[in-house]
Amino acid sequence: MGKKCLLDMLRVKLSFILLFLLSEIAFSCPPFLYDELGNVIDVKHKFSRIVSLAPAITETLFAIGAGSRVVGVTLFDNYPKEVERIFKVGDFSNPNLERVISVKPDLVLGISNLHFRLMKRIKEFGISCYTFKLYDTFEELYAMIDALGKITGNEREANLLIGELKERIKGIEDRGKALKAHPKVFLALWDSPLATIGRRSYIHEVIRIAGGFSITSDLEAYFPIYSIERLILGDPDIILVAGGNGGMGLSRDRLLKALSGKGIRAVERGNVYEIDGDLIFRLSPRIVEGIGILYKVFERWAGKD
Amino acid sequence: MKRRGLLIFLLLIFSIFISLFEGSVRISLGEIMTGSPVFWKIRLPRIINAFMVGASLSLSGSVLQALFRNPLAEPYLLGVSAGAAVGVSISILLKLAWSIELCSFLGSMFSLILVYKIAVRNGFLPTEDLLLAGVAINALLSALLGFLMYMVGRELHGLLFWMWGSFGTSSWGNVIRGFPIFLFTFFLLVRHADDLNIMLWGDEHALQMGVDVRRVKKSLLISSSLITAISVASSGIIGFVGLVTPHIVRIMLGPDHKVLLPFSVLLGGGILVLADALSRSLVSPAEVPVGLITALGGAPFFIYLLRKWRKSDA
């Protein structure tokens, strides 16, 4: 069994295509985790100095009780409060290699599509790397929590967290289904041009769980541009503004300035709500709070009519 | 004249010095001596790569300006960079992580050949046609790149920063891969310095002087876009250096390509090393894209030089 695992590891290194073919075997071989970029992590290894290159990863590490081992985060990290005192290695999208190496980490965690170039360099220093895909589906969150639990040895906490999240989300979903009416929802990312979320985003799922229905779930592109005519035609009951750091920093006032007097029903009825983008755009355990807030907004709307 | 040449040397040494000791992590001399990995494995290859890219872009800028007899010619004019960027994007979308450099080169060569095929007429390359074809292909490929990013975005978002130019991940690997090509191209171009001087007077004049214009143009175009492609693959799209450097050298030292080419290498390399030092220290620990620095710093300086130059002419 052990030999077989080693052989598998070698082959994985040889080819990315093989990685997918072998993932079945890899699963039956518990001490190793494989990511999209071909990074391999020995789960039995105890990592004590972790650099997290994404706020969602940092939040999850803290949520499963591995926060004390985090020695580096990005400038975007703002939760939990403890991150203030942790060494900053640079921007989320472009962390600084010198600073990452200088905190002497034994493990660097990042996002596959953002950090692939950097990870290649970090590996040259003999530092373990592991990346997550955190942008397409809700399941990616559970997969990340599960993997982080295995990597940090806090598997029990991770499983508890997943269980708790699933339960809380199920609870909101049930209440969402029971709403008297389900609002048609439009999420605004930016006002000029009016931009929203496209088909591949998990946020439509977030809106659905909270009891709403996203009117842009059929659009191509990740952050499509949306015309005001289409918005009038789509006639959403509620317009959500992704505010704060997590979105692009759009505010309710700013969006209202752009949309008022154009005959948009949600605007005229005052159904425009700003939500903390960090709770929606970070696929972290706190997403359940974001869903809860959305549910409250939808509940209030359903009560109005 | 000699003093001005010395000035370029001094700027280069100054930039390298600043760059070695300025960074997001303070490194003492003692740490450097004892083999600090941050210095030897990150900062040093980064500086050398920045020098090489600055030198390459300036070198192709000098050559293209001479070939087109157009002061606005620059490495990006032919769509070489856009082609390279499209190549890189495709390699990432297809998850061919190992082939980013190769795809970049293929993309740039593809766009170059396309431009050449459009512009070529009876075996000759009229300057105007080449310029127009370059502009058109550049626009087309840039739009294609934008479309790819808009539609399949996520996979390419990691490139957004890189597109603006960054030496953040430069490694000895970049240096080792790029250096032989850079050196070879440099000597090839210097060997053609006389031909370039003659071709400044026009193709017919050059033909009468015994220059095989067709062959020389072809080989100069290929080699200058080759070093541009290597640069784009390693550090993204960095504008302005290739445009400005040759002009500054020409103003300081005159138009003779025997002088212009080597000093463009020194000055362009020095400018980009300095720009990179700024890019990583201005808003440390975050980084400003180096392409923004070259544009912000380069443009006003260029305008100042132009005005001064005109005054002394009058």
| pLDDT at residue number B169 | 86
- Chain B residue with Cα closest to A223: B150
With cut-offs at 50, 70 and 90, classify the pLDDT of residue B58.
very high
| pLDDT at residue number B312 | 65
- Chain B residue with Cα closest to A36: B95
Kindly give the residue spans of alpha helices, DSSP state H, lying in A195-251.
203-209, 228-234
With cut-offs at 50, 70 and 90, classify the pLDDT of residue B122.
confident
Kindly give the interhelix angle for B241-253 and B2-21, rounded to the nearest 10 degrees.
Answer: 140
Q: What CA–CA distance (Å, rounded) separates B246 from B254? A: 10
| Better-scored residue on pLDDT, B199 or B307 | B199
* Contact check, Cβ <8 Å, A135/B154: yes
DSSP H or E stretch at residue A249: none
| Better-scored residue on pLDDT, A260 or B163 | A260
CATH number, domain containing residue B91: 1.10.3470.10
Q: With beta carbons under 8 A apart, name residues in chain A contacting B97.
A: 16, 37, 116, 120
CB A104 within 8 A of CB A49: yes
| pLDDT at residue number A266 | 93
Of A175-179, B20-24, B272-276, the poorest mean pLDDT is in B20-24
Residue B140's domain comprises: 2-313
* Contact check, Cβ <8 Å, B154/A93: no
With cut-offs at 50, 70 and 90, classify the pLDDT of residue B64.
confident
Distances (CA, A) of B59 to B203, B231, B274: 21, 12, 18
% of chain A surpassing 90 pLDDT: 61
- Chain A residue with Cα closest to B172: A121
Q: What CA–CA distance (Å, rounded) separates A90 from A115? A: 12
| pLDDT at residue number A1 | 42
Angle, vertex CA A18, rays to CA A16 and CA A22, nearest 5: 125
Average pLDDT for chain B: 84
Average pLDDT rounded to a whole number, residues B45-53: 95
| Better-scored residue on pLDDT, B97 or B201 | B201
Average pLDDT for chain A: 88
Of A8-17, A239-248, B106-115, B156-165, the poorest mean pLDDT is in A8-17
Q: With beta carbons under 8 A apart, name residues in chain B contacting A99.
A: 24-25, 285
| pLDDT at residue number B120 | 81
DSSP A141-162: HHHHHHHHHHHHT-HHHHHHHH
* Contact check, Cβ <8 Å, A98/B97: no
- For residue A23, pLDDT beyond 70: no
Average pLDDT rounded to a whole number, residues B253-278: 94
Q: With beta carbons under 8 A apart, name residues in chain A contacting B37.
A: 101, 125
Average pLDDT rounded to a whole number, residues A34-41: 88
Average pLDDT rounded to a whole number, residues A191-220: 91
* Contact check, Cβ <8 Å, B285/A88: yes
CB A240 within 8 A of CB A187: yes
Which residues does residue A70 pair with via DSSP β-bridges, in sequence order? Answer: A50
Which residue has 């539609």 as its token pair? B151
Which residues does residue A52 pair with via DSSP β-bridges, in sequence order? Answer: A109
Kindly give the interhelix angle for B241-253 and B290-313, rounded to the nearest 10 degrees.
Answer: 30
| pLDDT at residue number B56 | 94
| pLDDT at residue number B97 | 61
| pLDDT at residue number A175 | 96
Kindly give the interhelix angle for A2-14 and A16-27, rounded to the nearest 10 degrees.
Answer: 160
| pLDDT at residue number A111 | 93
Give how far B157 is from chain A: nearest CA, Å.
6
| pLDDT at residue number B87 | 86
Q: Which domains does chain A have, with CATH numbers?
A: 31-162 (3.40.50.1980), 180-304 (3.40.50.1980)
- For residue A302, pLDDT beyond 50: yes
Average pLDDT rounded to a whole number, residues A257-284: 90
**pLDDT for A268-277, tens place per residue?**
999 999 998 8
| Better-scored residue on pLDDT, A126 or B90 | A126
Number of structural domains in chain B: 1
| pLDDT at residue number B163 | 76
Give how far B288 is from chain A: nearest CA, Å.
10
Q: With beta carbons under 8 A apart, name residues in chain A contacting B41.
A: 101, 124-125
Average pLDDT rounded to a whole number, residues B112-123: 82
- Chain B residue with Cα closest to A101: B38
Count the Cβ atoms, other than its own, within 10 Å of residue B188.
15
| pLDDT at residue number A10 | 53
Average pLDDT rounded to a whole number, residues B128-150: 84
